[in-house]
Amino acid sequence: MVAENRPVALITGAAQRIGAVIAHTLHQCGMDIVLHYHRSASAAETLKQQLEQERSDSVRLIQADLQDTEQLPGIIEQISQWRGRLDLLVNNASSFYPTPVSSLTTEAWDDLMGINLKAPFFLAVAAAPLLKAQQGAIINLVDIHAERPLKDHPLYSMAKAGNAMMVKTLARELGPEIRVNGVAPGAILWPEQEELPEPAKAEILSRTALGRIGTPEDIARTVRFLALDAPYITGQIIAVDGGRSLQQ
pLDDT at residue number 66 = 98
Residue 239 pairs in a beta bridge with 184
The predicted pLDDT at position 143 comes to 95
Give me the residue spans of the domains in the chain: 3-240
Residue 210's pLDDT is 86
Higher pLDDT, 69 or 248: 69
- Give the pLDDT confidence of 21-68 residue by residue, as tens digits: 999 999 999 999 999 999 999 999 999 999 999 999 999 999 999 999
pLDDT attached to residue 197: 64
Encode pLDDT of 127-183 as tens digits: 999 999 999 999 999 999 999 999 999 999 999 999 999 999 999 999 999 999 999
* Dist. CA 95–CA 193, nearest whole Å: 10
Asked whether residue 200 carries a pLDDT value surpassing 90, the answer given is: no
Mean pLDDT across 199-203: 75
Higher pLDDT, 192 or 187: 187
- pTM of full prediction above 0.75: yes
Active-site pick, 37, 97, 156, 232: 156
Do the beta carbons of residue 60 and residue 35 sit within 8 Å? yes
Give the pLDDT score at 211: 87
Q: Which carries the bigger pLDDT value, residue 187 or residue 135? A: 135
The pLDDT tens digits for 4-18 are: 789 999 999 999 999
Per-residue model confidence as pLDDT tens digits over 69-122: 999 999 999 999 999 999 999 999 999 999 999 999 999 999 999 999 999 999
pLDDT of residue 194: 61
Instruction: Please say if 156 is a catalytic residue.
Output: yes
> Can you give the three-state secondary structure of the chain, one letter per residue?
CCHHHCCEEEECCCCCHHHHHHHHHHHHCCCEEEEEECCCHHHHHHHHHHHHHHCCCCEEEEECCCCCHHHHHHHHHHHHHHCCCCCEEEECCCCCCCCCCCCCCHHHHHHHHHHHHHHHHHHHHHHHHHHHHCCCEEEEECCHHHCCCCCCCHHHHHHHHHHHHHHHHHHHHHCCCCEEEEEEECCCCCCCCCCCCHHHHHHHHHCCCCCCCCCHHHHHHHHHHHHHCCCCCCCCEEEECCCHHHCC
- 12, 36 Cβ separation under 8 angstroms: yes
The whole-number pLDDT of residue 198 equals: 73
Lowest mean pLDDT among 24-28, 155-159, 207-211, 224-228: 207-211
Q: What's domain 3-240's superfamily in CATH?
A: NAD(P)-binding Rossmann-like Domain (3.40.50.720)
